[in-house]
Structure 1
Amino acid sequence: MNTEEALALLSALAHPTRLEAFRLLIRHEPGGLSTGELVEASGLSQSTFSTHLAVMVKAGLVIAEKRGRQQIQRANLDSLRGVMVFLAKDCCQGRTELYEPLLAELTCI
């Protein structure tokens, strides 16, 4: 991941609605949620939420899958992993005692 890609991902998450939607999608991996379920959880209108969803899709945070007549939205865990590695790659000058607590908290990813 390069700086531009990381900035696009972080910018897409820099809005409360998008951040909460992405966190909700992470909690529902690997099955994802229908677009309707996401709209309902957000409390926004379909058109307003669609704008937020489009930003996340464009940034590569969300992947849409067609299942029958439903659009299922899934968190792109590869993008999440990529930005996390990008942010922490040069962490702590190799001092494991400084980054091991971070790794311990991320063991579920």
Structure 2
Amino acid sequence: MTLEASPASGGGTETQSHVFHRRLHDFSESIEHALTALLLVAPGRALPRLFADLTWTQLAVALLLLLIIRPLAGWLALPGTGLRRLDRAVMAIYGAWLNLLPRLCSEPCGVCR
């Protein structure tokens, strides 16, 4: 059994299975967006309670980890990649997102292709 598509949707025919899968995909995307919103809001509601118990020592350790240890570990992990020093520094500080490598590198290299 086929369903006739309306002229507004571009014409053509679609099977019931295709329509069902499209609706199922749209539903799963809606659920994904709702859960993402929940994951963004929930930590925001918890942070004020967490900050109330934060000490200066804990803040210093967190800043040390974020601003020195993490970039240093990234810098030390990248020497065999063939990246220039500036490119290694950017990747060490911001992280190595593979889809952003070509935009971060100043020259195309073996890693970015």
Which bin holds the TM-score, normalised by the shorter protein?
Answer: under 0.3
More helix by share: 2
More strand by share: 1
Relative contact order (C-alpha < 8 Å, sep 6+): which is higher? 1
TM-score (norm 2): 0.23
- Compare CA radii of gyration and give the structure with the larger one: 2
